Amino acid sequence: MTGALLLVMMIAPAVAVAGSLLLRTSRAAETLNLVASVSVFAVAMPLVVLSANGASHYLADYVILDITGAWVILCTAVVYLLASIYSIGYMRLLGEDERLWGFYALFSGFALTILVSSVMNNAGLYWIAIELTTLVSTFLVGFERAAESIEAAWKYIIIISAGISLALLGTVLFYWCGSFVLGPTYDMTWDALLAAAPKMDPALAALSYLLVLVGYGTKVGLAPMHSWLPDAHSESPAPISAMLSGALLNSAMLGIVRYLGIADAAQNTHLARTTLVVFGAFSLLVGALFIVRQNGIKRLMAYSSVEHMGVVALGFGFGGPFGIAGALYHMLNHSLNKSLMFFGAGNMMRSYGSKEIGSIREVWTRFPVQGALWLAGAAAITGAPPFGLFLSELVILRAGFARGYNWAAYVMAVLLIVIFIGFLNHFRIMYFGAKADSGHQLKPISRWCVTPMWLALIPLFVFGVWWPADLWSHFMAAARTLGGAAP
């Protein structure tokens, strides 16, 4: 059953890629991609439920479905579905209709690589899957072919490739660590590494972990390795920004979480957790500073992603049941919320014809419905109740105090308040600020571009007022597998 669902999850986007490449018509590619995303979403839900019964292994142990991986699949599937609906409306506005089939082929391929990376049970193959996500998404980032997009794509691929090569070095060194225990040739599965970890040399394991953390941390966008993120997120088409932010970053975070468990077992708990917490807190700081003084609307969202990945890193770094539950919940909430924010930003960018916050004025009067949705999303992303991120951030804060990282919890609380003020101030100006120009003709926004905003906001609101008990016990099961349930 689980195997069949996993097969559907991988085949659906693969069919969409092949179909887009064969048919070479934009409308067909659009439909194929949408169908693929709906099927992925349909199987993601049962996969999450099934994963609670324990990990299942396939294909000679190269594929694993465990509880954390399934959760990342769900986050990816949600964003993939929303972005697929959104891109039907958005991409038609770009006036590049004859190239769109290529966009959809890459888009489905991008989703496929992210999904595959979440189920890889071999540290080497996981690295390759993450590398593939970069290669595919580079061309999506540069899809608009403007000088800025190409610049962003170039920086993206160079910085990520350099960063990810550190992760490869860390992976090889971890293999070396394991070879002292398991012999020269073994399959580098997560379980094998975890089993070998207690007998690993702590110094070598610490070096390997730090390399892996910096390497995958580059991909997650933890500061100070985040420098590619604002460029790539702001210059890619809006649905791709949402995918980068809501899906890709989580899939790289999954790697860090898995290695964190191994570092824990290798008697490096203190070093491993403290470095992750420091990276998380620093990401929050960088996010806060750049959010307060930001001119670009999509760059604002991008720095907010740096901030939220910092929060997730803090959650996993604190650990314990609260930390892990909060971080996992935060991943899903952030995926939903950031999609909503990027969709709104994309719509505003297209209708006002500018990426500058300074040129967007009177959103409230010109777009009453959409404006309200976007504003609600802005309140949610800054952690205001009654939305999901409020709950998850609160739980992560509690974890910080419970696990003895008081300084980090205080830093987090203060910076979240700074971000709340800074972020919403930009929205105040855009919604209620003085008129800049009046003669500008606004472009209308299609319904395809507004519906996914509703689809993102409603669950976000529901998660804010109601944290289902089943979800909590699911997170507790995840915390047990990640070794965080012990007090």
Nearer CB in complex with other proteins: 231/264: 231
Q: How far is the CB of 342 from other proteins (least distance, A)?
A: 17
Torsion angle, alpha carbons of 439, 452, 253, 222, to 10: 10
How many angstroms separate the CA atoms of 339 and 77, rounded?
A: 12
**Contact residue for other proteins among 1, 4, 95, 185 (CB under 8 A):** 185
Q: How far is the CB of 131 from other proteins (least distance, A)?
A: 6
| Cα of 245 vs its chain's centroid, Å | 4
Nearer CB in complex with other proteins: 232/479: 232
Structural tokens at position 170: 């860390």
How many angstroms separate the CA atoms of 409 and 355, rounded?
A: 34
Q: By CB under 8 A, is residue 294 in contact with other proteins?
A: yes
Give the per-residue contact string, 105-134, with other proteins (x = CB under 8 A; - = no).
-----------------x-xx--x--xx--
Structural tokens at position 164: 């990810």
Q: List, as own/partner pairs, every contact residues 144-153 make where C-beta atoms lie below 8 angstroms and the sequence separation is at least 24, other chains included.
A: 144/94, 144/96, 144/235, 144/236, 144/237, 146/235, 148/235, 149/235, 149/236, 151/231, 151/235, 152/231, 152/232, 152/234, 152/235, 152/236, 153/232, 153/235
Whether the CB-CB separation of 351 and 442 falls below 8 Å is answered with: yes
Q: By CB under 8 A, is residue 157 in contact with other proteins?
A: yes
Nearer CB in complex with other proteins: 28/132: 132
Question: In Å, how far are 334, 385, 403 from 452, measured between CA atoms?
Answer: 15, 21, 38
Quote the longest CA-to-CA distance of the chain: 73
Nearer CB in complex with other proteins: 142/317: 142
Q: By CB under 8 A, is residue 152 in contact with other proteins?
A: yes
Q: By CB under 8 A, is residue 145 in contact with other proteins?
A: yes
Q: By CB under 8 A, is residue 154 in contact with other proteins?
A: yes
Q: By CB under 8 A, is residue 287 in contact with other proteins?
A: no
Whether the CB-CB separation of 192 and 231 falls below 8 Å is answered with: no
Q: How far is the CB of 169 from other proteins (least distance, A)?
A: 5
Kindly indicate which of the ranges 178-186, 261-269, 389-397, 422-430 contains the residues binding other proteins, using the contact rule CB under 8 A: 178-186
Q: By CB under 8 A, is residue 138 in contact with other proteins?
A: yes
Q: By CB under 8 A, is residue 191 in contact with other proteins?
A: no
Nearer CB in complex with other proteins: 53/295: 295
Query: Which is it for strands 63-65 and 56-58: parallel, antiparallel or unpaired?
Result: antiparallel
How many angstroms separate the CA atoms of 32 and 137, rounded?
A: 19
Structural tokens at position 302: 């991008």
Q: By CB under 8 A, is residue 95 in contact with other proteins?
A: no
**Contact residue for other proteins among 29, 88, 166, 196 (CB under 8 A):** 166
Nearer CB in complex with other proteins: 86/110: 110
Q: List, as own/partner pairs, every contact residues 406-415 make where C-beta atoms lie below 8 angstroms and the sequence separation is at least 24, other chains included.
A: 408/277, 408/280, 408/281, 408/314, 408/317, 408/318, 411/281, 411/284, 411/285, 412/281, 412/284, 412/311, 412/314, 415/281, 415/284, 415/285, 415/287, 415/288, 415/307
Residue 385, CA atoms < 13 Å, CB-side half-sphere: 4
Q: By CB under 8 A, is residue 175 in contact with other proteins?
A: yes
Give the per-residue contact string, 211-250, with other proteins (x = CB under 8 A; - = no).
-------------------xx--xx---------------
Kindly indicate which of the ranges 16-24, 185-193, 410-418, 429-437 contains the residues binding other proteins, using the contact rule CB under 8 A: 185-193
Nearer CB in complex with other proteins: 296/388: 296
**Contact residue for other proteins among 139, 401, 410, 420 (CB under 8 A):** 139
Whether the CB-CB separation of 56 and 65 falls below 8 Å is answered with: yes
Q: By CB under 8 A, is residue 161 in contact with other proteins?
A: yes
Nearer CB in complex with other proteins: 203/369: 203
Q: Which of 133, 449, 110, 422 is nearest to 288 (CA)?
A: 422
**Contact residue for other proteins among 21, 201, 448, 459 (CB under 8 A):** 201
Q: By CB under 8 A, is residue 23 in contact with other proteins?
A: no
Footprint on this chain of other proteins (rule: CB under 8 A): 122, 124-125, 128, 131-132, 135, 138-139, 142, 145-148, 150-155, 157-158, 161-162, 165-166, 168-169, 172-173, 175-176, 179-180, 183-188, 201-204, 207, 230-231, 234-235, 290, 293-296, 299
